[in-house]
Chain A
């Protein structure tokens, strides 16, 4: 293999602090793939989570219309309400990626604002889901009521758990930043948390369409 004579900068550990507004230069630690193993591990985890949610979604799709007794999907869902929840989670993806862009530019204060906004939007989504679950419960739909209830609550409950874990993760990043332990050279930590958060968003994109908008 021909080698170029042009020197290439690689990162072997702690990078020097960069100035605010400096252009981002993508660097990797020295690994066999040339890629950061933590990021690769997160992608592998997300791939496995695809299979996990694929199974839950398939189970819901198969069993949703096989309930002997009601309530059934069409008479249960409040699509306008859930649309707002979907919009909130979509907006949180934008604030998450703006937090990443901020720390990559060395703007730590702005990153904290965007990360806090993302966590807050995640809490709003969770609050909305709690309200929705409570409403369904009062309408007679419980985990053990029928096949629709079992599969619906399992699917959306696991998604909500993912969101809750993401909120705690974002909170820990904000706390680290306030303690002065999260700087521009640690932007990969925010990027990995962002990957997880965006995955939670894309799962909801699928759930919103397959569960709520195509109920029959």
Chain B
């Protein structure tokens, strides 16, 4: 049952949250995600973009990631604590990938570090 809190509860925390978007916004985001996926496969098949294919695909993939997390998982609208918790795990996960790839020579190191 809902009760009345006369300002002594968690009004400050609630103030930073916003209502979730509706079905229309979700559908628009879904269409954009589908277009980006088609673009990824298109660029993959193009020889002309082979030189900068990897950064291009990484940017497109990151944009899809951000859109799903921001809109579908509501991190754009929810309390910042959720972003902090997830962002920490994401940062550690990303650091693991980067560190291991440097460690096993998947990236070229600067000469003074090689």
Contact mask A194-216 → B, CB, 8 Å, 1/0? 11001101100110111001100
Task: Given the known inter-chain contacts A16-B1, A46-B89, A47-B86, please indicate yes or no for A59 contacting B100, CB distance below 8 A.
Answer: yes
B97 in contact with A83 (CB, 8 Å): no
Beta-carbon contacts under 8 Å, A1-33 to B: 3-16, 23-28, 30, 33
Contact mask B77-101 → A, CB, 8 Å, 1/0? 0010110011011101111110111
Chain B residues with Cβ below 8 Å from A28 are 10, 13-14
Across the interface, A34 reaches (CB within 8 A) one of B14, B22, B41, B53, namely B14
A61 in contact with B2 (CB, 8 Å): no
A4 in contact with B106 (CB, 8 Å): no
Across the interface, A8 reaches (CB within 8 A) one of B14, B22, B40, B73, namely B14
A205 in contact with B68 (CB, 8 Å): yes
A213 in contact with B57 (CB, 8 Å): yes
A194 in contact with B33 (CB, 8 Å): no
Beta-carbon contacts under 8 Å, B43-89 to A: 44, 53-54, 57-58, 60-61, 64-65, 68-69, 71-74, 79, 81-82, 85-86, 88-89
Across the interface, B101 reaches (CB within 8 A) one of A62, A86, A96, namely A62
Query: A80 at the A/B interface (Cβ < 8 Å)?
Result: yes
Query: A51 at the A/B interface (Cβ < 8 Å)?
Result: yes
Across the interface, B89 reaches (CB within 8 A) one of A11, A50, A80, A104, namely A50
Nearest chain-A residue to B26 (Cβ)?
A97
B81 in contact with A54 (CB, 8 Å): no
User: Once the chains are docked, how many angstroms separate the CA of A70 from the CA of B105?
Assistant: 21
Residue count of chain A within 8 Å CB distance of chain B: 73
B92 in contact with A50 (CB, 8 Å): yes
Query: A165 at the A/B interface (Cβ < 8 Å)?
Result: no
Using a CB–CB cutoff of 8 Å, the interface residues on chain B facing chain A are 1-14, 17, 19-20, 22-23, 26-27, 29-30, 33-34, 37, 40-41, 44, 53-54, 57-58, 60-61, 64-65, 68-69, 71-74, 79, 81-82, 85-86, 88-90, 92-97, 99-101, 104, 106
Question: Can you report 7 residue pairs joining A to B where beta carbons are below 8 Å apart?
Answer: A28-B13, A35-B79, A55-B93, A87-B34, A208-B40, A210-B61, A213-B44
Using a CB–CB cutoff of 8 Å, the interface residues on chain A facing chain B are 3-16, 23-28, 30, 33-35, 39-40, 43-44, 46-55, 57-59, 61-62, 79-80, 83, 86-87, 90-91, 93-94, 96-98, 100-102, 104, 191, 194-195, 198-199, 201-202, 205-206, 208-210, 213-214
